[in-house]
Amino acid sequence: MNEDQNLQNLFQRIESNVAASPELRTKLATKRRSPRRLRLAMAGGMVGAFAVLGAIVFILPNASAAGTYRRVEDAIEDAKYMHVRSYGKFVDKPRTLLSELFYSHGAWRCDAFPNTRLARTYLRVGGDQWYYLNGSDVAVKEPFTGGFLDSRQTALEFAENMSDEGSLGHQRDFSIESRPDEGGRPVYAIVATRKDTPYHLEMIVDKKSNLPIRATFSGQDPSSPNYREITSEFSFDNKIDPRAFLPKIKSTTRLTDMIADAESLKTEWKRPIKTVQAGPTSVDVRNITVNSKGELFVVCSFGAPVGFEPGQFPKNLLPDKITDDLGRAYQLVETVPPGGMFGDTRAREYFKFGDDSVAITEWAPIEPITPWVAAKSVDVSFVVRTWMGYPTFSDDSIRAKAQFTLPSAIESDFPAYSASMLLGEVHGQFEMESSEDRAKRCESNHQYALAARWYRAAAELAYPLALVKTFTHDAERCQKLLDAHPVP
């Protein structure tokens, strides 16, 4: 069976799933959101994916540059094809390919962070959008609804969404400057700066065609330890192979129809296991799953955040500490919304219960035991805290406790809903941090043998590789503390 036929068979498999109601699809098709950002910690800083995709910022420039700028816009708008390679140059690091974008007649594909554990592909063709996770081999299908994949279809308008990093609503000054010919072609530069900051954007444009050749963006002073320079290289001349717009799906790929999965799970979790009340707020616990390693996955839904302020992570009543009936303590691995940390899909909208948002908290035993002896119940402390990632804030004045009976352990590492919520992808991204957190907790409790074990686990998962040395040193330090203070 050839690859194309294999691909079509896989598509048919997902098309045969439970379809979303026409009402839901109509509702989703009319929703619009501002472009989302894929975020990756690199060189100690945060790089937005579409800031990565290009340092281009298409906004209305000041009057002096408006005419020239409009000519560039018109030229790109008329383009039928566009190919963009974006590179990052970080302090003391070689230039790295960060993303590659293909555009052709309204269809587009973006390969982001190639050759890293965050490698992923975004694809928009016709009425569907696809999101493929290389590491976990999961392909997510959604109806095309705008937002991250904007409904506009010109090359110009896709370019507009590439990057607004450095803008953030602040005024920038644009100017047109002359530049030496490049490869025998007359060129000019569109330069954007901002007062009192090191922000700098320079776009080199072909003077004859008014099409961009290259754009370079930096938002920090070159002396900053987090300095990075993003360069995008453009091509508009060559037709793009239509096969570039086929989803990267293999025979092993897990296909997820996000809407169908969400509707099925909301039916399954319609009745909460328990509602926990603390002062003015409450949380519904809708599902608890435990695997054979003793790891717990707790699904919660909650309403309006408590003490939420613009620009801050929301705070809601969520699990804060867990112990089981055998006296074993658990460490919070991560708290994530549906669709993963980066918000690459619309899962946060699909998995809502009315206006209530959903989050999944993953917990792991501090002391791993093989084979794991199953517990019958857990005591859970709830507190108002942030829930995007690891909590950075908690309010101990709003607290509650509840006990839950545990179901039988599943054989797989993750719950059945993992692919829909991209849970495995998030786990892989933060497994190193989870091991480090457990190591620090054990060390603070003078459990040096466990601390050394978790530091070694973090070293095995370390990225960037420079952290291997750090975690190995921490493990050796804890081992020396254990030797100096042996357990009686």
pLDDT in tens, 68-84: 656 666 666 667 788 88
Higher-confidence residue of 335 and 431: namely: 335
| 223 shares a domain with 338 | no
User: What does residue 426 show for φ and ψ, rounded to 5 degrees?
Assistant: -65, -40
User: Which helix (H) or strand (E) element contains residue 211?
Assistant: none
| 220 shares a domain with 335 | no
| 94 shares a domain with 171 | yes
- What is the Cα 333 distance to its own chain's centre? 16
| Strand-strand pairing, 138-143 and 254-257 | parallel
| 309 shares a domain with 232 | no
Over residues 114-152, the pLDDT tens digits come to 887 778 888 887 777 888 887 778 888 887 765 433 444
Q: Which of 24-28, 209-213, 292-296 has the lowest mean pLDDT?
A: 24-28
21 in a domain, yes or no?
yes
| 239 shares a domain with 124 | yes
| 80 shares a domain with 37 | yes
Of 228, 256, 284, which residue is a domain's last? 256
Domain that holds residue 69: 3-256
| 279 shares a domain with 239 | no
| 251 shares a domain with 285 | no
Over residues 420-429, the pLDDT tens digits come to 787 776 666 6
| 206 shares a domain with 90 | yes
| 172 shares a domain with 305 | no
| 288 shares a domain with 229 | no
Q: Is 247 in a helix, a strand, or coil?
A: coil
Average pLDDT of span 379-406: 84
| 306 shares a domain with 400 | yes
Predicted local distance difference test score (pLDDT) of residue 421:
80
Distance CA(248)–CA(253), nearest Å, equals 9
Higher-confidence residue of 299 and 116: namely: 299
Sheet of 138-143, strand order: 173-178, 187-193, 200-206, 212-218, 228-235, 81-90, 96-104, 107-112, 120-125, 128-133, 138-143, 254-257
Q: What is the CATH number of the domain that holds 153?
A: 2.50.20.10
Residue 323 has pLDDT above 50, yes or no: yes
Task: Using the Cα atoms of residue 382, residue 384, residue 388 and residue 393 in order, give the sign of their dihedral.
Answer: negative
Higher-confidence residue of 25 and 330: namely: 330
395 in a domain, yes or no?
yes
Predicted local distance difference test score (pLDDT) of residue 143:
78
Q: Which of 164-173, 185-194, 310-319 has the lowest mean pLDDT?
A: 164-173
Q: Residue 294 — pLDDT band, cuts 50, 70, 90?
A: very high
CA dihedral angle for residue 394, residue 397, residue 403, residue 406, rounded to 10 degrees? -10
Q: How many domains does the chain have?
A: 2
